Amino acid sequence: MKRKRQVVIAFAAVAVLAAGYFVLRILPPKETAPPDTYIIQKSSEDLSYVTVALPGEDAFTIDASGQGQDHVYTVRDYPEEFQFDRLQLEGTFSLVSNLKAEKTVEKSPADLSAYGLEKPAAVVDVSYKDGTSDEILVGDQTAFADGYYIMLEGGDTVYTVDIYSGDKLKKNLYFYRDEPLIPSMAKPEEEINYIDLRKNGEEIEIKRDEKETAEPKFLVTKPREGEADGEYLQSNLFSPISALYTAGSVFLDMPQDLSAYGLSQGAARLTVSTKDGEYTILIGGTTEDKASYYVMREGSKTVSTVPSSTIGQILSVDAAKLVAAPEGETAKQ
């Protein structure tokens, strides 16, 4: 009986092994991800400078010096009074030193114009410390607008890169500028002491109530006096004012004619006094597509743009609604 049981167990084991072998034979082999393809693969430490040329604009060059954490990035031949965002400059060096292809599209293409590479949207010259260089040609977006066609000058292969990489390679000089209109304010109701808004011949003036209270209070002194409606003040002035720290994008340095941007005499003015200082923002006209307003900090040499949603909120402040209704009365609608 014992021997019979051993024979049965042996047959069962053989059957299991046979079934496993059969399954392995009919299943497709496990797919492995193909190795990444890099158009350029270097260490960012190997780079000396990057030059970006865009159609219709002056080329600009980003230089790198130092090593590791002590890397210093500067824009060549640009006035030192203008500040640049170090993280954005560093990010471009990191991108071009390890430029990864999403797909290999075609080798030895007969017609570069099919990819927008005959007249590139950007030409990025990557120069290395050993004296060699690569020139990146940025073409059209792909059919589904999820990437860009890319090729190296002198190369024979067209690739695609992801949309972020392609967009970054096409950025102009002002993308890298760092010119906040006002300081960062986590809690504007605690940091703002005074607001003066002049628009369309009207002046609205708001001051912090100096009396100690559990919650910050503000007083409207122009055009009519009264305690400010805290909720209206927060949503229609404090919120868009604090957004100015990140909402502004540099449009032009050293403008020759401010009237072209509606920033000459007669422009709306917003003055904000905080614990860090006083800032006056001139508000001009809208961009051609109406998506943004031209703005400029008084004393600056830079014209920026701010989304119309932010500036529009400030310009639409209603002085009548700003003053809180006396107790027992309904606020004006």
pTM of the complete model:
0.82
pLDDT surpasses 90 at 314: yes
| DSSP per-residue letters across 108-131 | S-S-GGGGT-SS-SEEEEEEETTS
Specify the range with the lowest mean pLDDT, choosing from 28-42, 68-82, 137-151: 28-42
Residues 6+ apart with CB under 8 A from 114: none
Residue 21: its H or E element = helix 2-26
* Distances in whole angstroms, Cα of residue 89 to Cα of each of 50, 64, 96, 142, 301: 10, 9, 11, 26, 22
pLDDT digits (tens, 9 = 90+) for 57-99: 999 999 998 876 778 999 999 999 999 999 999 999 999 999 9
Q: How many angstroms separate the CA atoms of 205 and 319, rounded?
A: 9
- Structure confidence at residue 216 (pLDDT): 84
Long-range Cβ contacts of 107-110 (<8 Å, 24+ apart): 107/156, 107/157, 107/158, 108/156, 108/157, 109/158
Instruction: Identify the band that residue 326 occupies on the pLDDT scale cut at 50, 70 and 90.
Output: low
Tokens of 14: 């053989």
Q: How many angstroms separate the CA atoms of 180 and 182, rounded?
A: 6
Q: In angstroms, how far is the first alpha carbon of the chain from the final one?
A: 98
pLDDT digits (tens, 9 = 90+) for 167-182: 999 999 999 999 999 9
